[in-house]
Amino acid sequence: MKIVILGGGVIGVSAAYFLGARGHEVEVIERKDTSARETSFANGGQLSFCHAEPWANPAVFPKIVKWMFKDDAPLVLRPRADMEMIKWGLKFIANCSKSRAQANSVTLLRLGLYSKKKMEWFRQFSGVKFDNLREGILHIYSDEQEFENAIAQAKFQDRFGAPAEIADYNKCVHYEPMLEHAGNPIKGGIYQPLDESGDPFTFTQALAKLCQSEYKAVFHYNTDIKFLDTEGGRINSVVTDKGVFKGDAYIMSLGSYSPLYLRPLGIHVPVYPMKGYSITFPANHYTPKMSLTDTEHKIVYSRLGDRLRIAGTAEFSGYNTKIRPERVAPIARAVRALLPKCEYDKPESEWACLRPSTPDGPPIIGKTKYNNLYMNTGHGTLGWTQAAGSATLITDIIEGRPTEISLDGMGVDRF
């Protein structure tokens, strides 16, 4: 089959590689001059297969009210007359109940554990190197109540196959000795041994090259998609500024921009851009070796070879990727507090981009009402983590094979 993939981020390129390995002819359309230049460029680097707590949960709802309009809060809402944002927000609130959060957790975990297994395949089959660390992730807590909530979530997840160790302060330092110098008090941690980290940009770039050299996939870079042309319940072609592209099937993987191209087709998906930031420092003697999550500040740390990537914060302000110093400053402050010995002052680089977020958490993977248009989008905070599993699922769906895991909670129809 000839398959046209819209978008060359980690989601589009992972699918291109898997489809190529299954013998399909693949074309990828991407507006940037190379792959992974938008949200897949400098994210937190965590392959957090077992991090299955959605943002929409009972504990976050009261906090949102407290955080609202505070410029250095982990989550900031900039109210605007934007119906899509309002509709998304109402769906988010509806998913904050305990029962909805647990159901969404189970879906995220199913996809996360499947992605772990499929990432193993990608790593071995492709041989790509991406500063991959497979030492687990340690989530650290400085608030007693947050720690207790996390223990309850870890116990819940354990029932679904995600092991976790509850660690006291000494155990946290045992896992990551650099925490001995932490400026913040650490009440305890949750260690998730199956989790990993790695550089999504290096991974995606390497995979795109392999797609071209091994599977003769064609990447149309610097090509801006304008719209999808339809005819009789099917997609007829993709119209771009460089001409028209045709295939037997089309996959929507435009990240946060997906809904803008689906709406004219009468497909309404609540994927909204959630802006986040990252900063990167060169590693030094006091830089942590393993991946950490500072839950109080909602910030993640990943060691990517000789660099330390720190990412976090969420801001709802539409399609705006401008770097605002007042949003970078709290991240830098949190780093200085946790790792004072690193003496980090000015980051090597600062970056901001948009997470393609659904209000309940899981992505949208599956068929649409057009019988040759498929979705693989809306991966939110976990797109790097879920790329390998999502690529395999979308390939099976297009080929009409039964998927290895249930797609419950991932379809378009859930909205």
How many C-beta neighbours within 10 Å does residue 62 have?
10
Q: Who contacts 410 (Cβ-Cβ below 8 Å, separation ≥6)?
A: 107, 111, 362, 363, 364, 365, 366, 393
**Taking the complex as a whole, how short is the minimal distance between the CB of residue 390 and ligand FAD, in angstroms?**
9
Tell me how far apart the alpha carbons of residues 349 and 360 are, in angstroms, rounded to a whole number.
32
Computed from CA positions of residues 321, 47, 17, 250, in that sequence, does the dihedral angle turn out positive or negative?
negative
Those residues whose C-beta lies under 8 Å from the C-beta of residue 190, and which sit 6 or more positions away, are: 138, 139, 141, 150, 151, 154, 164, 165, 166, 167
89 vs 378, which CB is nearer to ligand FAD?
Answer: 378
Written as six digits, the tokens of 255 are 């990240």
CB of 168 to ligand FAD, least distance (A): 26
Q: Rounded to an integer, what distance in angstroms lies between the CA atom of residue 332 and that of residue 330? A: 5
Give the residues lining the site for ligand FAD (CB under 6 A).
Answer: 7-12, 29-32, 36-40, 43-46, 48, 224-225, 253-255, 257, 276-278, 300, 311, 353, 355-356, 377, 379-385
Min CB(214)–ligand FAD separation in Å:
21
Could you tell me the smallest distance in angstroms from the CB atom of residue 14 to ligand FAD? 8
| Contact between 386 and 115 (Cβ < 8 Å) | yes
Q: Count the Cβ atoms, other than its own, within 10 Å of residue 86.
A: 12
Q: Considering the complex, what minimum distance in angstroms separates the CB of residue 150 from ligand FAD? A: 18
In the complex, minimum distance from the CB of residue 83 to ligand FAD, in angstroms, rounded to a whole number: 21
Residue 2 beta carbon to ligand FAD: minimum distance, rounded to whole angstroms: 18
Q: In sequence order, which residues have a C-beta less than 8 Å from that of residue 342 and are 6 or more positions away? A: 281, 284, 286, 287, 308, 335
Q: What is the rounded distance in angstroms from the CA atom of residue 337 to the CA atom of residue 360?
A: 32
